[in-house]
Chain A
Amino acid sequence: MTTGPLNDPASGPTTVSATGLTLRYGGTRALDAVSLELTRGVTGLLGPNGAGKTSLLRVLATAVPPDSGAFTVLGHDPSTTKGRLAARRTLGYLPQTPGFHPDFTAFAFVDYVAILKELTDRAARHREVRRVLEAVDLEDVRGKRIKRLSGGMRQRVALAAALVGDPEFLVLDEPTVGLDPEQRMRFRELVAEAGEGRTVLLSTHQTEDVAMLCHRVVVLTHGRVRFDGTPAELTARAAGRVWVSAQRDPGALAGWRTGTGTFRNIGEPPTGADLLEPTLEDGYLLALDGESTEVTA
């Protein structure tokens, strides 16, 4: 998809590997024995709200240690002090709600994050800050205060902060939320670019993001992995299970009236049903398997 033939991601070496990650808070299990292996390229993490996407990203970004289970990031084990530091040095993280010091300019903010990432040499750091701000197309507004920037621009500032220091492992938590279609497209370009040669884990509830960006997709519900494969495989799950009917089909797992007045149904079709070409969204809805009623992303 977005990755070139030179580095076929599916066959690349494992860069991030997790087994049995479990995280509880309060009485609930945010993560329930999650195992997965990531390679270079962009992997999409899909799931409804509350599925544990953010929890998984926080664990892999070393923001929260898991209650049980283990993982490595580029060979480093974050459960040790040394390994955690080494893992953090390879990491770029864009949290779900990236906070800003509103009085900082875009440049000052990225500069601040660069300092947290141990870039202490002033001249080298400023060069790096300029590089990432150029990479996200913000060089013209670098002197503007963050509170004066639009939502899309702020999101790009946060991406620049994640990219500073050229991390090998990028963790992006719903970066396309709140962006208009044009901004989203621009943002996808940036993420695709970042995914060349890097391991990117992108959580989203937009199946479009996954269809356009990811070589691999993991579906998470109730803290468990429900699907792990390529987007084409996820789409293929819905083959023969999407059909059109004139009336609402009570046997369908989900069905809705489309703009043309007919109903689009997914589930087990009745015999002789008028089958449709499935989309990634259909495959995703089937992977959720009616567990959640709030699957309309």
Chain B
Amino acid sequence: MTWHVAEEDLRAYAQGELAAPMLWSADTHLTACAECRARLAAVGDPVALDAGWERLDAELDAPRPGLLEGLLLRLGVAGHTARLLTATPVLRRSWLLAVAFVLGLTVLAVYLVDEPALFLALAPLLPLAGVALSYGPGLDPTYEIAVVAPMHGFRLLMVRTVAVLTAGLVLNGLATLALPEYGLLALTWLLPALALTATGLALMPRLGPVLAPVLVGGAWLTLLALAKRHTHGTLVPFTTAGQSAAAALAVLAALLLFQARDRFDARPTGGFADGGAA
């Protein structure tokens, strides 16, 4: 053992005052290190020590955080929020790899045909799809349990949306870095991405978790197809006017979404996995 819990941390630990994440490191270390346990016994008063042992005991059972959960904890995300995020289906490594793969292919295609619109059309759809897939009966196996849990459905949705959106935007951003020759134009997916995601979510309580994002995605592709027909230069959504419209839509949809927040709780957004009543 090369590392030991510092004297003052041990004292704080014994008094129950050591804060996370140091607390967890100390918990984990103490289970394995007899030397530190002996030192802990020396610094602590017996009552606080008992509480410490009890916590240690509970710690022995605690699931060891996975890669993603560990990362979130290190970023300062609260433990319970990190666990909620870990259960988000689309944050699994396989999903993220699939998204990265699609983005890679698209960037390659942009290089081959010198057509940035390919990337700009796809990039806003990925966060929309990710968010749509992270809350609903289709992919969340514990959906029915989550629906009746006291935690507000909207809160769970937002926690996951923020996480999925962040992951999606980071991946998109990395792809953008691979397209430096297009300058700022390569970043014009960002506002449409926010607009599509917010609109898809705002329509979800009314149209369900499948129809809402499909309609929004379809509308986006239709808009691009129409723009392609009528313009030869930069497509409308990626011009200043288009970007302003996207920003306005994102804000409007976010407001509508907030207003409809209780509807995510009152009624499941789209049946159950077995096709039962909703």
A residues near B, CB below 8 A?
A: 23, 25, 30, 54-55, 58, 61-65, 81, 84-85, 88-89, 91, 93, 95-102, 104-105, 107-108, 111-113, 115-118, 120, 122-123, 125-127, 129-130, 142-143, 161
Main secondary structure of the interface of B (DSSP, over half): loop
* Contact across chains for A117 and B61 when beta carbons are under 8 A apart: no
29 CB < 8 A contacts A-B: A25-B278, A58-B272, A61-B148, A84-B265, A84-B266, A89-B150, A93-B144, A93-B145, A95-B272, A97-B274, A99-B141, A99-B143, A99-B145, A99-B273, A105-B63, A107-B62, A107-B63, A111-B63, A112-B84, A112-B142, A113-B145, A115-B151, A116-B151, A117-B149, A123-B54, A123-B55, A127-B54, A143-B61, A161-B145
A111/B83 contact (C-beta < 8 A), A58-B276, A81-B265 known: yes
Q: A61-B148, A63-B148, A64-B268 are in contact. List 20 more A-B contacts (CB 8 A).
A: A64-B277, A64-B278, A81-B266, A85-B150, A88-B148, A88-B150, A91-B148, A93-B148, A99-B141, A101-B87, A107-B61, A111-B62, A111-B83, A112-B84, A112-B87, A115-B151, A117-B150, A127-B54, A130-B61, A143-B61
Assess whether B80 is interfacial by the CB under 8 Å rule: yes
List residues of chain B with CB within 8 A of the CB of A30.
Answer: 277
Considering the complex of A and B, which 10 residue pairs feature the smallest CB-CB distances, nearest first?
A99-B141, A116-B149, A108-B63, A126-B58, A25-B277, A88-B150, A95-B144, A115-B80, A89-B150, A99-B142
List residues of chain A with CB within 8 A of the CB of B144.
Answer: 63, 93, 95, 98-99
List residues of chain A with CB within 8 A of the CB of B276.
Answer: 25, 54-55, 58
Cα–Cα, bound, A64→B267 (Å): 6
Inter-chain CB contacts under 8 Å: number? 117
Closest to B84 in A: A115
B residues near A, CB below 8 A?
A: 20, 54-55, 58-59, 61-63, 78-80, 83-84, 87, 140-152, 156, 262, 265-268, 272-274, 276-278
